[in-house]
Structure 1
Amino acid sequence: MLATSVLCLRACLALLAMPIYLLAFLGIWEPFCKKVFFPFFLEKLSAIHERKAKKHKQELFRNLPDFASPSGELKLLEIGTGCGVNFQFYPPGCRVTCTDINPNFQQGLSKSMSKNQHLRYERFLEAAGEDLHQVPSGSVDAVVCTLVLCSVRDVSAVLREVLRVLRPGGAFYFLEHVAADHSSWKYFWQQIYHPTWKLLFAGCCLTRELWRDLEDAAFSELGVRHVRVALPWTPIEPHIMGFAVK
């Protein structure tokens, strides 16, 4: 009965979003989403999410300096940099390499860079998290990934790349939205929204249990906390945060 309800409500939502599905079928939606819609949407959502998650991020990145190299320099790689909303939390002098599969965030990214002159920006790489071949193995002290693993094609492949580019003893920091408890109404609605949400928002998956992928990866240490970042009228409320050591 529950599965039938989900399918029926999914069909109703798909009917409402039929113009988007038609544009996707014609091959128009994906380039428009990548160049215009998603950068605009992400900039607005990031501003809201930043207000809600600021205390969590301050806590999350508090010990970043502990992972600096013996020389005191901290080399950081951010996967899915987007508009650069995390820059404010990085320690002064940190050398940042930015990566994103979508190069159309440059306007917002430039603004964030100009506001955060305490950092040293190395370069921007147009790259998927699953393929960071432009970054040498064992070359960075920390990797950061926030609100990105929901939309990558292969979470395990991203985590393998994270482990490859990190030096021994380096750390991977994450804050991601995840599936709600399966017995909750939140999860019921996540299942309904999932197909249309994924189409509208560049592959964003609502029902990934990312803590399991992290547990299966070959980190020597892993700390995961389930936290609440309330975003009214959205199905992306449950989050996990923490860091893992190579």
Structure 2
Amino acid sequence: MSVGAQIKALSFSLLFLILDYLKNLRKKFFAHFINSFMDGYNQLNDELKKKHFESLGNVQSKSEPLRGANKFSLVEVGVGSGANFKYLPSNCVMTVVDPNPHFQKLFEENKKKFPEIEVSKFIVAAGEDMHEIPDNSVDVVVVTLVLCSVQSQAAFLSEVKRILVPGGKFYFWEHIGDTQGTLMQRTQVVGDYIWPYIFDGCRIARNSTEEIERSGFSGCNSTKFYVRAPDTAYFFQRWILNYFIGSHVRGVATK
């Protein structure tokens, strides 16, 4: 190999290492940012999230051993640092999935505050490929602010249906693209050019509601709502919620 070819190969290798390092750095930043952001976000939505998840207390497992122990299986995809622990019933047996490995340590620290909840496994994987979880094996799947950042919503929702038992429930809580023509919708369209590069693939203009409704669940009940940060919130929280990701949908779909 000539000296010129060696230099070119070395340059490409160095560029690859730099890009890989920057990608890892972005994921680490995102994990710590979301861990901090979700504290304030949950305070704003505390009563609404309690209401959203309260029907989990009525879930009867399709698994005879779990049902006999008054427990049920729950998979949370995009679990992050475990911001939903406080809303989940103590009789759920969790498997958690997140593609960002930097969340795992934060999740384990947060889990110590909720010793009554059993977590069987933390799987580092994308939601579009949950092959470690068997077909028709999960009573409930939960996502919160996840559909914005999956590579393929259709593939992800197909995986959700695959792992759910017949009649299983899919609880979703997502920020979505706002109504066409509103100020927020216009800022979302503009923001979508740069947002994914800052916030680990998040696309703020997606209409996740339509994707869920056409994905083949036997039933789906959803409600659109807005999350507004008060004037007392810190600037960054107000900026994000009031101009970019304030439009939301929450609901439950049935396999």
Same fold (TM over 0.5): yes
- Whichever residue aligns with residue 33 of structure 1, its letter is R
2:95 counterpart residue number: 97
2:22 counterpart residue number: 29
Query: Which deviates further from its counterpart, 153-162 or 225-234?
Result: 225-234
2:157 counterpart residue number: 159
Cα deviation, residue 106, structure 1: 2.2
Partner of residue 130 from structure 2, selected from 109, 129, 132 = 132
Equivalences for residues 67-82 of structure 1 within 5 A = 67-69=59-61, 71=67, 72-82=70-80
- The superposition leaves residues 37-71 of structure 1 with CA deviations (integer Å, 9 ceiling, x where unpaired) of 11111111111211112122111111013222162
The CA distance in 1 between the partners of 2:60 and 2:123, in whole Å, is: 22
Cα deviation, residue 184, structure 1: 0.7
SS in 2 for 1:62: helix
Q: What's the RMSD between the two structures over aligned residues?
A: 1.7
- Whichever residue aligns with residue 45 of structure 1, its letter is F
2:105 counterpart residue number: 107
In structure 1, list runs of 5 or more residues that go unmatched: 1-22
Partner of residue 239 from structure 2, selected from 230, 233, 239 = 233
Q: Name the count of aligned residue pairs.
A: 223
The CA distance in 2 between the partners of 1:96 and 1:184, in whole Å, is: 39
Cα deviation, residue 183, structure 1: 1.4
The CA distance in 2 between the partners of 1:163 and 1:42, in whole Å, is: 27
Q: State whether residues 83 and 109 of structure 1, in contact with CA within 8 Å, keep that contact through their aligned partners in structure 2.
A: yes
Q: State whether residues 178 and 207 of structure 1, in contact with CA within 8 Å, keep that contact through their aligned partners in structure 2.
A: yes
1:53 counterpart residue number: 45
- Whichever residue aligns with residue 50 of structure 2, its letter is Q
Cα deviation, residue 132, structure 1: 0.5
2:167 counterpart residue number: 169
Q: State whether residues 74 and 140 of structure 2, in contact with CA within 8 Å, keep that contact through their aligned partners in structure 1.
A: yes
Query: Which deviates further from its counterpart, 144-153 or 225-234?
Result: 225-234
- Whichever residue aligns with residue 240 of structure 1, its letter is V
The CA distance in 1 between the partners of 2:76 and 2:136, in whole Å, is: 15
- The superposition leaves residues 162-206 of structure 1 with CA deviations (integer Å, 9 ceiling, x where unpaired) of 001000111000000000111111111111111111110001001
- Whichever residue aligns with residue 192 of structure 1, its letter is V
Cα deviation, residue 107, structure 1: 2.7
Identity level (%): 34
- Whichever residue aligns with residue 167 of structure 1, its letter is V
The CA distance in 2 between the partners of 1:138 and 1:80, in whole Å, is: 20
Structure 1 ranges of 4+ moved more than 4 A: none
The CA distance in 1 between the partners of 2:116 and 2:46, in whole Å, is: 19
Instruction: Give the number of the structure with larger relative contact order, counting CA–CA contacts within 8 Å between residues 6 or more apart.
Output: 1
Q: State whether residues 104 and 122 of structure 2, in contact with CA within 8 Å, keep that contact through their aligned partners in structure 1.
A: no
- Whichever residue aligns with residue 190 of structure 2, its letter is I
- Whichever residue aligns with residue 65 of structure 1, its letter is G
In structure 2, list runs of 5 or more residues that go unmatched: 1-14, 230-237
Q: State whether residues 68 and 75 of structure 1, in contact with CA within 8 Å, keep that contact through their aligned partners in structure 2.
A: no
